[in-house]
Amino acid sequence: MGVIDSDAHVVESRDTFKYIDPKDKKYKPLVVAQEADAEDNRVLSNEGGVQKHFWIIDGRLQPMEGNIGSNTTAESREMKSIDARLKHMDELKIDVQVLYPTVFLRAWTQDPTCELVICRSYNRWLADIWKQAKTRLRWVVMPPLLNMAETRKELEFGKANGAVGIFLRGLETERRLTNPYFFPVYEMAAELDMPICFHSGNNSFAVRDIYATESGFGRSKLPVVAAFHGLLMDAIPEKFPKVRWGFVEVSAQWLPYALNDLSLRFKRKGRRLSKTALKDHNMFVACQTTDDLGPIVDLVGEGQLVVGTDYGHADTSAEIEALRRIRDDGKIKAGVADKILDDNARALYGL
């Protein structure tokens, strides 16, 4: 059996944006440094270090080091050395990583031109990374959702260059993911055989501002859980039966609550929630080793969970050796662990 890391990250650097056309240079992200020395004014990272540098994207500050894990090297997490990344994967006994972004987990623009310019550059950066390690480094496309014609172009480019998913956050373009605005994306996902990958995060400035001083649970995690709930409540997967749906970096511990709540709401409307709802609708959830995995597997089945390391980050989902522990900690049977580490990830990402 292989080992697939279903949620690993790249950390953006200046190289990420070197693909921006000179005519669009005004949209190119800038880097600024924090000069405040007083402890009261210092911004700290998730690991307690001083956040020294920030991106300026579309006129807004975004942290660079805020969620960086010190158990990875800059050359590896920023893809400055593909060999270094692959060597670390070998040490961790990881065969394949599926790569997600970092700075773009937050709301960063609602300007269609800026979004397109930056998404296009990011996607080409990832395509070049894939070309250097085709069988081992796969990735999810950042779609410029404010322009559906360009979204199609980017998805087709990604499909031809190693992408295995379509990146979405729990909220996009100030809309819920059940909004018909996104139906063209779901149609493209079915046509191109690429899953919709909801990753922890949101692209709503309103929600971001409400939770500005909060840890990230309400701002980043709960919108993805709400997206899962909303999709089933509004029968969206039934409209797009060929689409696969992934829910990444929000653990799986919420599934009993969400499914119980859905069951109650379905009953009030004269509907019945299938006991195999996730399997019926091609839904997969990335678990964590801290989840109570036995009961969750019993609830949703052996084929619907995947797992990732959150490679490069330092938040509540980050566990660099999560894939080894899934097999070694004895919470679930070895055969189920093998499915989570390999078969299920292959099914989600179409590997």
Average pLDDT over residues 124-137: 96
Report the distance separating Cα 117 and Cα 23, nearest Å: 10
Residue 6 token pair: 């279903």
Closest CA to 319 of 2, 104, 6: 6
CB atoms inside a 10 Å sphere around CB 144: 23
Would you state the pLDDT for residue 44? 67
Burial of 272 (0-12, 13-18, 19+ CB in 10 A): exposed
Would you state the pLDDT for residue 152? 98
- On the question of pLDDT at 84 being above 70, the answer is yes
- On the question of pLDDT at 38 being above 60, the answer is no
- On the question of pLDDT at 315 being above 70, the answer is no
- On the question of pLDDT at 46 being above 70, the answer is no
Most confident by average pLDDT, 35-39, 71-75, 132-136: 132-136
Would you state the pLDDT for residue 211? 84
Report the distance separating Cα 209 and Cα 199, nearest Å: 19
Mean of the per-residue pLDDT values of the chain: 92
Q: Quick one: pLDDT band at residue 71, thresholds 50, 70, 90?
A: confident
Average pLDDT over residues 58-82: 86
More confident residue, 321 or 27: 27
Q: How are beta strands 163-168 and 137-141 bridged, if at all?
A: parallel
What is the H or E stretch that residue 129 is in?
helix 112-132
Question: Which residue type occupies 67?
Answer: N
What is the DSSP secondary structure assignment for residue 220, as one 8-state letter? I
Residue 163 token pair: 């992408």
Report the distance separating Cα 103 and Cα 81, nearest Å: 20
Greatest extent of the chain over all pairs of C-alpha atoms, in Å: 61
Beta strands in the chain (DSSP E): 4-9, 30-33, 53-57, 60-63, 96-100, 137-141, 163-168, 196-199, 245-248, 283-287, 305-307
Question: Which residue type occupies 209?
Answer: D
Q: Quick one: pLDDT band at residue 284, thresholds 50, 70, 90?
A: very high
Tens of pLDDT along 163-221?
999 999 999 999 999 999 999 999 999 999 999 999 999 998 888 888 888 777 888 89
Residue 46 token pair: 């998730």
Report the distance separating Cα 97 and Cα 33, nearest Å: 31
CATH architecture of 4-14+68-349: Alpha-Beta Barrel (3.20)
Is residue 155 within 8 A of residue 143, CB to CB? The reply is yes
Mean pLDDT is lowest, of 184-198, 238-252, 261-275, 328-342, for 328-342
- On the question of pLDDT at 90 being above 80, the answer is yes
Would you state the pLDDT for residue 34? 80
pTM of the full structure: 0.93
Angle made by CA atoms 323, 327, 331, in degrees to the nearest 5: 115
Q: Quick one: pLDDT band at residue 160, thresholds 50, 70, 90?
A: very high
What is the DSSP secondary structure assignment for residue 303, as one 8-state letter? T
Helix and strand numbers (H, E) in the chain are 14, 11
Would you state the pLDDT for residue 130? 98
**Structure-token match 């709400």, residue found:** 226
- On the question of pLDDT at 294 being above 80, the answer is yes
Is residue 46 within 8 A of residue 66, CB to CB? The reply is yes
